[in-house]
Amino acid sequence: MEPPVTSSQTEPILCKNNCGFYGNAANDNLCSKCFKDQAKAQSTPDDFFDKNISFMNASTAVETPTETLPSAVDAKSAEDSTPVVSEATVVPDRCHKCDRLVGVLGFKCRCEHYFCAHHRQANLHDCTFDYKGMFRTLLETKNKKVVRDKLERI
């Protein structure tokens, strides 16, 4: 006695490209690998041209405002022509005092320079940071002022 054959059970279909795998009707009778390869082959040239066209449209849109802005900027810069002084760059991989290579283990001081283990103390590298002033303002903010009225109330 054989089971009844229904219309939903059909014979598997081989791939259109004859690769040996079974195809799927949803993938145009192609196996998953052949379907991906075909989709990639069809979409690659189109995507390439679409991206270039959108890039060209964006670049032309950007060029238009920049051509009009320099004239306004030139007028302002002519009025405010002050020289800008740039500070020397700090090299974080060398000691500021002895120029020794410190790498990752360099110590950064409050004077914004990096030092080796020998010169990391403030008195050893002639630090320019005002520690006395910093601690004075810190004490003023942290300590409350004692007023005579409070003493009399207690």
**Nearest one of 93, 92, 104, 98 to 118, comparing CA atoms:** 98
pTM for this prediction: 0.34
In terms of residues, how long is the chain? 154
Residue with tokens 């590298």, as numbered in its chain = 125
Cβ-contact 26, 18 below 8 angstroms: no
Beta strand 114-115 with 107-108 is antiparallel
- pLDDT, position 4: 60
Q: Report whether pLDDT(21) > 90.
A: no
The amino acid at residue 63 is E
Element holding 115 (H helix, E strand): strand 114-115
In angstroms, the CA 120 to CA 107 distance is 6
119 — pLDDT class (breaks 50, 70, 90)? confident
Q: Which of 19-28, 88-97, 101-110, 131-140 has the lowest mean pLDDT?
A: 88-97
Q: What average pLDDT does the segment 15-34 reach?
A: 87
Q: Where are the domains of the chain?
A: 8-67, 103-153
- Could you read off the pLDDT of 60-114 as tens digits, one per residue? 444 444 445 455 455 455 455 555 544 556 667 888 888 888 888 888 888 888 8
- pLDDT, position 28: 85
Torsion on CA atoms 69, 74, 77, 79, rounded to nearest 10? -120
Residue with tokens 């020397």, as numbered in its chain = 88
CATH T-level topology, domain 8-67:
1.20.5
Query: 12: Cβ–Cβ under 8 A, 6 or more apart, which residues?
Result: 22
